[in-house]
Amino acid sequence: MRTGNSTPHLPEDYDVQVGRTIPYYDSLHGEAIDLVLSLRCRPKVWLDTGCGTGAMVQKARKALPDTQFILVDPSPTMLEQARTRLGEEPKVRVLGPCRTQDLPGKVDKAPDVITAVQCHHYLSREERATAVRVCYDLLAKGGVFITFENIRPLTEVGTEIGKRKWGRFQASNGKTESEVEAHLARFDKEYFPITVEQHLDLLRRSGFETVELLWYSNMQAGFYCVK
């Protein structure tokens, strides 16, 4: 049984199912890692909130063997999968179940990097604003926040076209018509996308002065901010 988040996928097959649901999902991890590798200094501490099964950290560890990774997710079963995937390693710390907005007091080192991949779109506008502000407050000075989320197109016509395109991707990856319809029906009911412009405004209002669009495709976008 799923606990603590709104994903429709079970933790034990999450990575396979999310790859059939979100176009270029693996690319999101690669984009985040490549950006971190492009910073002037390697991060000492990287906090991955909404870490899921730990897939991104598993990749990042190979590129950044000296970085301390801290993982957190609201789902206990996702965290179990992450612990199994990453094993016992002194540079990896998996916290107990926790939402991003409840992190203050649970992280004892100011992270140089915080990532939030496909997790804040489950939150209300108020909760999302709180979660982003928490990430800003937790970051070390000069630290980088990287987030990827579902995106609302700027117009209703754009939303309709985007959903049809998204459905075609899922169907081409083996999802049935009823599965596609069920996922798209969750839009604005179980996950709550905002536009690119609203994302940029939210990130600036959270305190970040450097706010950039990193990646955008298929109603998904990535952003990075420097504190």
- According to the model, what pLDDT value does residue 212 have? 98
pLDDT class of 4 with cuts at 50, 70, 90: very low
pTM given for the model: 0.91
> Residue 5: pLDDT above 50?
no
Mean pLDDT of 7-33: 78
H-run or E-run covering 25: helix 25-37
Of 16, 148, 155, the closest CA to residue 163 belongs to: 155
The 10s digit of each residue's pLDDT in 182-222 is: 999 999 999 999 999 999 999 999 999 999 999 999 999 99
Could you tell me the domains of the chain? Answer: 11-152+192-226 (3.40.50.150)
Of 99, 92, 22, the closest CA to residue 59 belongs to: 92
DSSP-derived pairing of the beta strands 113-117 and 92-94: unpaired
Task: Count other C-beta atoms under 10 Å from residue 207's C-beta.
Answer: 14
The rounded percent of the chain whose pLDDT value lies above 90 is 86
Of 72, 75, 85, 81, the closest CA to residue 7 belongs to: 75
Mean pLDDT of 11-31: 82
Mean residue pLDDT across the chain = 92
Query: Which carries the bigger pLDDT value, residue 24 or residue 128?
Result: 128
